[in-house]
Structure 1
């Protein structure tokens, strides 16, 4: 038995009744396998009339993965996709060479008030797939493998584990699952991955000899480990093969700094060109956008609360 290599504490930010905890990237641990970004959204309660409005913004070189425990969000993108996500479902958006998307609260959900709690991650694409055409996948909760292992009820989000395989596209060896651990559960983690991490959402859990607090992630490199819980816990397990260094700036991820600079110029040019015949376009029906940080492009006239997870 041993300890995790690194314990990462989520850095929390209050957005006026909506709290986000940023876990990855971390100064001493920029990535876990291909995962370059990990945020816990909420839990938060929105009064009637309030909601999330993340205006259209661009991505390159990554796949975004949205997974909710509670609530609902609506995704719209420049491919023309319009998709609500509910608890236990997965939205996987592969940005590839470039995509624009927004995340908002549907009017009927906003009108009645709601709670929101979930996880957003970014997965860096393999270098050979960074310029793939953008794509989007949605899997409802009943289409993902759900099974019991070691006293934990597991929903497999990406990859293969314990004899089960998720339907989501996987561009490099990746594992990602949600586990609801019953009191007394003892779950041995898969061994065939370069790196793994365990994030404790709620409850109590130990990774081998080390207790995690809610909001902490323990990382493991190249070895097996066991998660135990005395009273029950909700955990996320993620990781996979190491894919090499990645640069991250704003919403862009790439193996090349020059490619990120091009993406920034493409976003500027698209805004200046009115989003028609430009490198980036807006989702159908959208007319707002988020300028590059520090740019003097005009802000949209209607104020929005932009979630820092994007």
Structure 2
């Protein structure tokens, strides 16, 4: 995932127990637990002339999590991974000391100029300080491998981490949770005692009611207290519940680089300029470092 713009347009406001804003990061809240960047991708139509073609770009100091609701994306990286992520599956790539990858519309969707939709989230999770320079890793989990359950006509999928007495197979490096929630009828979201740490909610579809305020799709709320007000989910609501334990150190972020020390960022910038990062085999593309 190439982070083209660090600060997403801010519409942050305070509604009592929650902060409301446009995903991560925004000025009032740089991180939620270890989550440092959340980008809502689409929904959009992919067709001839507008295929996804993100060339080789680097990451350090984080794990990327890609989760799709619609569409297909081919992921290739310098570790040797080459696969297509489909709706409901999880791509989990840990950059550590440095990895390069590409994201493209699969060849078979280009072949006949077919149109397709793409919709999902691309997420960065900061690595703990002691693992910032670990060897890169890549893991992929199909939809059927993730814990799912229903309660009160509400469906849950545990994408990563632990929550509601369950654990995802995704090998995370910090205490966190990310859960997809879909409602068939109005319900109150039960959070207390089910997840640990800071709590964020991305409204994907519909709206929610928090502290008697209506929060529309496209916004994120972040709890300021462990004893937050009740969150009401109307029928046909779709959201991501996420968060985790607060990280002890602040993080520097530039382009696709995350680190506890600015010197690490500067060294990565030089390595990318000098083309010293590992390469995706057989790929000659190169996304230049932003000025």
TM-score normalised over the length of structure 1: 0.84
> Which residue of the partner structure matches residue 66 of structure 1?
66
1:29 is aligned to 2:29: yes
Judged with a 3 Å threshold, the aligned counterparts in structure 2 of structure 1 residues 35 and 150 are, in CA distance, closer, same or farther, namely farther
> Which residue of the partner structure matches residue 262 of structure 1?
267
Cα displacement (A) at 1:150: 4.4
Cα displacement (A) at 1:230: 2.4
Map 1:5-24 → 2, pairs under 5 A: 5-8=18-21, 10=22, 23-24=23-24
Moved more, 157-166 or 45-54: 45-54
> Which residue of the partner structure matches residue 303 of structure 1?
none
Distance 2:94 2:123 in 1: 12
Judged with a 3 Å threshold, the aligned counterparts in structure 2 of structure 1 residues 187 and 122 are, in CA distance, closer, same or farther, namely same
Counterpart pick for 1:127 among 119, 126, 129: 129
Distance 1:77 1:289 in 2: 13
Mark the runs of 5 or more structure 1 residues left unpaired by the alignment: 11-22, 271-277, 295-310
C-alpha offsets along residues 99-122 of structure 1, whole Å, 9 cap, x if unaligned?
A: 000100012113311000001110
> Which residue of the partner structure matches residue 92 of structure 1?
92
Distance 2:251 2:67 in 1: 24
The answer on whether the counterparts of 1:151 and 1:186 sit within 8 Å (CA) in structure 2 is no
Distance 1:147 1:246 in 2: 35
> Which residue of the partner structure matches residue 17 of structure 1?
none
TM-score normalised over the length of structure 2: 0.89
> Which residue of the partner structure matches residue 12 of structure 2?
none
Judged with a 3 Å threshold, the aligned counterparts in structure 2 of structure 1 residues 259 and 153 are, in CA distance, closer, same or farther, namely same
Q: What SS does the corresponding residue of 1:112 show, helix, strand or coil?
A: coil
Q: What SS does the corresponding residue of 2:220 show, helix, strand or coil?
A: strand
C-alpha offsets along residues 252-308 of structure 1, whole Å, 9 cap, x if unaligned?
A: 0000000000111111122xxxxxxx4x122112101111112xxxxxxxxxxxxxx
Counterpart pick for 1:242 among 241, 246, 256: 246
Cα displacement (A) at 1:220: 0.7
C-alpha RMSD of the superposition: 1.5
Map 1:206-221 → 2, pairs under 5 A: 206-221=209-224
> Which residue of the partner structure matches residue 291 of structure 1?
288
Mark the runs of 5 or more structure 2 residues left unpaired by the alignment: 1-14
